[in-house]
Structure 1
């Protein structure tokens, strides 16, 4: 290929690579920018819904605090007492209600005027006016209070009815303690509001009335659009938002909208697609609205606390036109394409001009070279360009002159070279012999290196065996996580779905919630056990030692476990001995004692369990002995291995294989030893020792060993952190309560049968 062609191709290649790199950078930046906006939009969507939920909770909480004030409680109680003393109170209420309803909108009867101007109404109006001045609009357009008969006793403005006990919200508030309704239009206040009803109780916690208040929807959406467009996203016209209630009616929307209007067919289709894909966001291409690509993000309201858990069922939908937002980047791509074409044409023209200048000079050099090949050393070149090619021509002429001189010198030195070669041959033979000897030495050194490599290979093999052990431990942990941690989640999910999908009686709801609580406690205990093991393995356990009485701890644990043991036909035997106070971590040692006694109850099969604690020289020796089935030899070897639950699950019954490992780590961090003695059919005895020290002192630990009597002790290799959860102290109590409830249920079932 000629130089001209190479230059032109080179220019074009460089330009193409530059344009490609620039396009790649712009495209990558565009994608990252779009992904970042998508991520922020999903986060802001959830945050905005969270702000609405917190606003409702905050407003309701302020009124919950108000209804327990002495003024409210005393006024309602006084009204109830007056109505209790009236004979035919129902007829009186109906009469007043009929007069109330028949009065025109402009008429204020004496009864209405009295209710509007009493002390409690004035106090409510002051509270109502405070919020209105603070927010510059009526936050609570209507507030009124009824007694237990449903009659109005205080109000901030005229309402439609005097008797309210037949209203659905009144009945719900009385039964459940509170009520949250849907957004609706209130004719009395002429506002779209959220209905809230709160029960009022007397000093004896008896139902005495209901407070109803309306929260103006402006309170939820104040600065709503400004937060989304300016403060949070700064995306301006590209972002649209819609807030829907649980019936898919519009509560708030960007731009003009009709309150409580049904969403359009296209928006309903988008909602159905979100529910079908079970995802909080959806990217739509070529939709019916003509937008090439837009992101639709949904956030559903969560449970709020207004005295009881309530799900509003609201949905916040955010949308933005992705292609329109990125239109400047698309324009930049078009401009870059046009610029690339112009630069390519200019580069092509420049390459042709430069190549012509170079090709004429190089052609002259080519001809001179051909003459030189024929043996003509009298040829010269004459290049007049003032560039590198001109320097090349001068160098070529100088080379011709040098070649003439060298030709003469070569003939002269030919004889000298022959003599030199002969001499060099002899010297080379000598060097070859010397180098052969050096190679022999290198061979010996190489053999020594191979021996070292073999030794390193053996060490590598040993490391591989250890790594396999770690891999097996990882597999065991994954199995534990997938089974043990999932087991309590299954009943939790089932009971929550049952509570959400069915209108259950109160007794069944309490039973379902009780099951959820038990499984949550179990899940919390499993997670804390895993965290304890993690701190043991990473040597991060730190003990909070103080002077404590071990007898007190033993009596406490045994008294707690006694009901469970008695229900299973067992007897816990412990004779307190005089033990002086000494230094140990009270919480951790209680954890060890609870675990050992709990295991003994599980495996004693209705027999006695003996607990003892004695001071022997400079150590405290604690033992828990049961008369159960004992531990098989094949299980005993793995007794303290993580996640090991025994052959056929006979040792760690319904356990995760972590308890004994945690107990052993706690004891050894105290500087003590953990031993186990067992015989098949005769039971097992778990013992541990604690150093008897009455002030802080450093403790030394022994190496790991298994003695002939199956006594096991391990080196100090664990470290502990702070207490993770005080619920661990009550793990045994929780089990006792659960067992007691199960026994009562079994008795009831037998009686029913």
Structure 2
């Protein structure tokens, strides 16, 4: 279907087609999501089970280490070493001299009872009892300590012989430091046992004896049983195999001593992982395994803990979700078709009416009735369309009046621009006159001083210079305020010191004696640009001195609460009762205030506002004006 064909399709068909495409897309995405989810679920479960088995295998390894090395540590390693060293010094004859459960070895003679009751045997008995209490069952079938000659020098249970047969286990423990025997299973008692041996060396590393035990492994079987009792392992089979692939225990209860299939055992090459396989019946199975690892000074047992689980059991929730999505999809498709039919009728018909109305309007018929009455976006569109129709009709009928109205608006805008330009011209002329006046006076006074050499003339020169500086400062402040280019150098300073320095600017003013400053004893700090803020105070004081009839200016500071400080500047200017003070701070043209500074208070207010402060004016009891300035108190 090309673009022209799509454009020619009716809107109702487009809506139906759009719904169909959306539904199909949702179905495809759902199928892909479920397929991907199955793979991800298997991976997540395999990883989680692998971590659980690794943790269980760690507890098994650590438990086996404790069962033999714990005996030495609990019996006091230093004592064991000393006992063996002292004992070995008395055994300096071959083992062949031993007969009838009694050995006559040089000056020493010992019996089975003496061995059972010596200090090392008693310590081993206590250590074994402590460990067995922890595991809550009889753990040891045998615990003996053998010296390098093969004589038993300590035992926790009665002996038939005081010597041991130096077979392969002896060579293994002497060479490697450990011996881990094959697991044995007693069919009658259903008990698993294993021989363990540990080489004992002195502090210099010399071989001084062997600790040999025969331990029961029921705690390991219980640990595997408890592991399988967890909810996530209820449908699984857990087995323990040795380094040759022989099954030591299997929760499915196969015969002890069977071997796992060689391919399966070979694939378990990592320390901990999972793999997938399919049997001859086509059943998919996940195999999760974790291998025994060395524990500090104890070697690996060579065992592998294996978990098998049918992947169909793992994916039951996903299969259920798939069926649910299928049902929801069918229901959604049916509902979507019904909604599409309804939407087609509720959208397509009003749009057709709007189209027909637009054709008539284009032909010049502005009296056409747009009959669309709905409380939705289509109805809103129809209302806007009807408004547009009326606007076009009104425009056509009143075009000349509209042109005149727009022309008047344009002339008003041009007049406003002209007035703004006139204001700027007036400001420029005012500044020019203010600068030229002190310059002319300054030239005359300098010439006068050259001719007469009168020191008093210097006072006039100084006054002219101050007036010139004030005017240029006003111009700079006005420009920077209007263009927002003022740069502030903020610092924390005392409000009392700041006001004192501001008043000091008028020390050489003819009316300086009329200014009185009353500062609050509770001095506070404010965060200001000292130069700019003193400029603002200067402008206010200058304005008050010019307008005050008595010339008296009263300044006070006071703290307001914990957050603000207030400055009050009062003068005695004459104001009428009905005069508004709101426009004092407005920017005015020079001829609006004869002889007054047109921008001083405007610049002062701008500076104070930039310092997060406020300023307003109101009439006072002297018949004049009081300026109220507030600033935030600086807090470290």
TM-score (norm 2): 0.49
TM-score (norm 1): 0.43
State the structure with more CA Rg. Answer: 2
As a proportion of its length, which structure holds more helix? 1
